[in-house]
Amino acid sequence: MAWLIGFSTFIFGNEEWAVRLFSPITHLFISLVLWGTAKFAFGSNSGKIAALIWIFTPAASLGGFIISTDTPLLLFWSLSLFFLFISLRQNSSFSSLFVGIFLGLAFLSKYAALYFLIFFIIWWIIYDRSTFLSIKNIIIILFTSFLIASTNLYWNYLNDFVTVSHTISNADLSAITLNYKNVIDFLSSQFLVFGPLLFLLYLLIIIDSLFKNRDITLLSMISFPIIILITVQSFLKIANANWAVTAYVGATLIISYYATLTRNCECFFIVNDLSCITDDRTLICGSVVYLPLRC
C-alpha cells in the first residue's frame, strides 16, 4: 500500500485523490483477473459474470473510494488463485512459481494472506495429495512465498516483531468476552460486505456442493473457513467486517460457475449495487438487476 501511495503522490503530489488513485484501478484489475480465472476454469460466460459480480459488490464499490491494505492483498490473492488453477490443470512448476511470488506479495500487503496458504495446504492434504499438483510444486510455492516474505520477516526480527505484536493486539484475545451479539454483528456485516443476496447464495452453494467438485471444493476451502475463523474471533472478542474480505474472491468465482450451469438461453446475474454511507457506519443496501447473458 505504501508503494502505491508513494508512486501516485510522487507523480501527482500530496492530494487526497492522488492518495486514493490506485484503489479503483486495483479493483478494476481484480475484476479482470477474476474474469480470466473463471474463464480458464469454468468457461467464457463464467468469466464475464465473475468480473461483473466483483465490480458491483459493496466491498469493491466502497474499496474503490478508500486506500487500505486490503486492496493490494485482494489483487495478489486473485493472481495467486489464477496461477494456482493453471498449476492444477497443467501441474506446472512455472505456474507454481508465480503462485508463490504472488502469495509472498500478498503477505507483504497483509498477514491475512496466510489464510490462503494454510487452507490451500489443508485442501491439498485432504483432497489432492499429488493427484493434480505434485509435492515438488507445493514445495516451490512454499519456498517462493517464504523467499518473497522473508524481507518483512527479517525486518520484524530486527524490530522486535513489532507488526506481529500489532496484529495480535488487533485480535485482542487477552480478555475473552464470549459475546453472541458480536457474532450477530459480524455475520450481519458480511451480508453487507458482499451483498445480501450474493452472500446468501454463496452459503447455499457451499452447503450443497462441498466435496462434489474439485475446483469448487478448493474455492470453498480458501474462502468459507476464513468466515468461520473470523466468526469465532468475533465470539471471543470482536472482529471487523473487512477481516473476512478475502473470502469473497473465492465466493465470486463459485457463484460465477453456478450462474452458468443453467441450460436455458439466458442466465440471470444478481447484483447488489446500492451503497449508502452514513455518518459513522457504512450501510450497504441491495437491489436486484437481471442481466441476460448468452449461454
Q: How far apart are the first and last CA of the chain?
A: 39
3-state helix, strand, coil split of the chain in percent (to 5) is 70, 5, 25
DSSP class of residue 203?
Answer: H
What pTM was estimated for this model as a whole? Answer: 0.86
Coil, strand or helix: which one is 293?
strand
What does residue 267 show for φ and ψ, rounded to 5 degrees?
Answer: -105, 145
Structure-model confidence comparison of residues 271 and 216, the more confident one: 216
Coil, strand or helix: which one is 170?
helix
- Confidence (pLDDT) at 212: 77
pLDDT tens, position by position, 108-147: 999 999 999 999 999 999 887 778 889 999 999 999 999 9
CA-based nearest residue to 256, from 212, 211, 216? 216
Task: Determine how β-strand 274-277 pairs with β-strand 266-267.
Answer: unpaired
What does residue 62 show for φ and ψ, rounded to 5 degrees?
Answer: -70, -40
Distance CA 32, CA 267 (A): 20
Per mean pLDDT, which range of 4-13, 40-49, 90-99, 170-179 is the poorest? 170-179
At residue 179 the predicted structure's pLDDT band, cuts being 50, 70 and 90, is confident
Coil, strand or helix: which one is 277?
strand
- Confidence (pLDDT) at 282: 41
- Confidence (pLDDT) at 173: 61
Q: Write 263-270 long-range contacts (CB < 8 A, 24+).
A: 263/295, 264/295, 265/294, 265/295, 266/292, 266/293, 266/294, 266/295, 267/45, 267/49, 267/292, 267/293, 267/295, 268/292, 269/49, 269/52, 269/53, 269/293, 270/197, 270/198, 270/201
- Confidence (pLDDT) at 162: 83
Is the pLDDT at 102 greater than 90? The verdict is yes
pLDDT tens, position by position, 78-89: 999 999 999 999
Distance CA 110, CA 15 (A): 25
* Mean pLDDT over the full length of the chain: 84
Q: How many CB atoms lie within 10 A of CB 146?
A: 15
Tell me how far CA of residue 104 lies from CA of 34, 101, 249, 250, 258, in angstroms. 19, 5, 17, 19, 30
pLDDT tens, position by position, 241-289: 999 999 999 999 999 999 888 644 344 444 444 433 333 344 444 433 4
Domain range enclosing 9: 2-294
Coil, strand or helix: which one is 294?
strand
Q: How many domains does the chain have?
A: 1
